[in-house]
Amino acid sequence: MKTREQRIVIPAADVEIQAVVIEPVGRPARTGVLYFTDIFQLTESTLRTARRLAAEGFLVCLPEIYPRDFPGAALAFDDAGKADGLAGAAATTTAQFDADRAVVLDHLAARDDLDEVVAVGFCLGGHLAFRAAFDPRVAATVCFYPTGLHDGKLGADVADSLARAGEVQGRLMVIFGSADPHVPAPARLQTITALYEAGHTELELHVFSGGEHAFMRDVGPRHDPELTDRALVEAVSFLRGRS
């Protein structure tokens, strides 16, 4: 399915958030996907993955995650870009991440062409997607190799995300790679234990054997095309309600 995209600006209280909206051509999408990027923001690699989701029939909205420090920037996949991405996170408080999310969700909720909103996120964005799941307007969430859930590392302060696991409202899927040094087995166990202890029954966990951190990023030696395809198939089916 072909897609079309546009760049929009979503006004917030203290900043303007730039976003890319991608949707299928032809049959209108009825489900909106709030897509949280990794620390490199709106790169072509991220947009390629988002286009694959849109081609499955979703409207995908990708807001920048550092509108205050790197507005409109797509950071390079090199040491300087990584340093900028980490600096952007370190300069952003959990409250700012939450406020930005709420504004983007308000924007999606105001559209009269969407029946529901779901969320996905990658790496740091996977953590942001987890926090988006606290909002009752989010029907389902997929967190791809989310970082910092087990130890609260998100931005400028310690996030209380895992302690609030009981506030997750909708269905939740978490996808990890088994060879991810940022989320090793003890961290994965801590995360999933907290979710089960919070009483979540609509929960899926997938650990892809051999998957490194960011194995879905199609730039660099970590990329695993086969695991990427498998992860996207699982995510799309889950977001559709396994129908």
Give the pLDDT means over successive 10-residue stretches in the chain (243 positions): 95 96 90 98 98 97 98 95 97 98 98 96 98 98 98 97 96 98 97 94 93 97 98 97 74
pLDDT of residue 201: 83
**Structure-derived torsion over alpha carbons of residues 38, 39, 44, 48, reported in degrees to the nearest 10:** 0
- Enumerate residues 6+ apart whose C-beta is below 8 A from 86: 39
Element at 188 (helix H, strand E): helix 185-197
Kindly report whether the global pTM for this prediction surpasses the value 0.85.
Answer: yes
Q: What is the distance, to the nearest Å, from the Cα of residue 227 to the centroid of all Cα atoms in its chain? A: 18
pLDDT of residue 54: 97
Domain at 3-239, CATH from 3.30.930.10, 3.90.190.20, 3.40.50.1820, 3.40.50.11540: 3.40.50.1820
Q: In a 3-state reduction of DSSP, which class is residue 87?
A: helix
CA distance 63 to 66: 9
pLDDT of residue 29: 79
Q: In a 3-state reduction of DSSP, which class is residue 147?
A: coil
Element at 144 (helix H, strand E): strand 138-144
pLDDT of residue 243: 57
- Report in angstroms the alpha-carbon separations of 241 from 28, 215, 236: 18, 25, 9
Residue (of 105, 102, 172) closest to 144 by Cα position:
172
CA distance 195 to 65: 25
